[in-house]
């Protein structure tokens, strides 16, 4: 995206940039954990994490942290990679060899940096010798300086971090260079709206994730880009304002 912006500067191209993300799902202790874990897990591993708004970070309040980690681990272990045309498959292959190699590299980085690997962590053989399949991977006990917390992996790798309270949850969520999306899971609607207001993200989903409507604008903050797709804001991108003065005297 930055390269496109630079290349277009000489002719002042008008751009909308929807770029990468490192979106966080925040799970508070009062959340409906059955729904929150399912929603946050699907928000990460849908399309193998190869989607810009994948919820690749999960922030969990300390009182329910280990329970959530275990629930996510069980879901990952039950997820079956396989032929996307096979109805029994839960997750297809990585898009191409370069991305496959990159995803495996990120898995190795997570191990080297000392994160707790709770599920997956490598390639997956579906028995055909074909396809760039990897295991759905979950790392826990992540810290803010770790690579998997800072960089977009664009693959099925979930980074789980604990937090102690509301302010720390927001601080951790906003500490990343990206700001495309976020999820908030709580039964306290006041807390949900407070979080949504403070999160530096273009889309915030409460007790859900990845919902879209053609009338709702979509786009990012910070290094996730600028401008909006969908909705009135997207149409305004194609318009220019003109001021006309007429002397009727």
Contact (CB, 8 A) for 24 and 209: no
Question: Which neighbouring-strand residues pair with 160?
Answer: 58
Out of 52, 99, 135, 152, the active site residue is 52
79: helix, strand or coil: coil
Contact (CB, 8 A) for 23 and 55: yes
CA distance 94 to 109: 18
Contact (CB, 8 A) for 92 and 84: yes
CA distance 158 to 153: 9
| Residue 26 structure tokens | 């925040």
18: annotated active-site residue: yes
Computed on alpha carbons and rounded to an integer, the radius of gyration of the chain in Å comes to 20
66: annotated active-site residue: no
| Residue 82 structure tokens | 């396989």
The catalytic residues are 18, 52
């Amino acid at each position: 995206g930055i390269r496109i912006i630079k290349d277009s500067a000489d002719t002042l191209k008008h751009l909308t940039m929807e770029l990468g993300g490192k979106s966080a799902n925040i799970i508070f202790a009062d959340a409906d954990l059955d729904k929150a874990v399912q929603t946050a897990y699907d928000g990460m591993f849908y399309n193998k994490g190869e989607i810009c708004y994948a919820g690749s970070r999960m922030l969990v309040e300390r009182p329910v942290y280990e329970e959530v980690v275990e629930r996510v681990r069980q879901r990952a272990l039950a997820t079956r990679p396989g032929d996307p045309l096979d109805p029994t498959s839960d997750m297809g292959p990585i898009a191409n060899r370069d991305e496959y190699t990159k995803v495996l590299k990120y898995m190795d980085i997570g191990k080297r940096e000392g994160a707790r690997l709770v599920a997956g962590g490598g390639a997956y053989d579906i028995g055909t010798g074909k396809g760039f399949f990897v295991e759905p991977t979950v790392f826990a006990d992540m810290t803010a300086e770790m690579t998997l917390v800072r960089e977009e992996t664009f693959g099925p790798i979930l980074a789980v971090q604990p937090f102690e309270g509301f302010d720390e949850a927001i601080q951790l969520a906003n500490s990343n260079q990206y700001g495309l999306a976020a999820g908030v899971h709580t039964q306290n609607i006041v807390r949900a709206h407070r979080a949504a207001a403070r999160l530096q993200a273009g889309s915030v989903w409460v007790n859900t994730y990845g919902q879209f409507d053609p009338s709702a604008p979509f786009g990012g903050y910070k290094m996730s880009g600028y401008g909006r797709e969908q909705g009135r804001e997207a149409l305004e991108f194609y318009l220019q304002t003109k001021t006309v003065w007429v002397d009727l005297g």
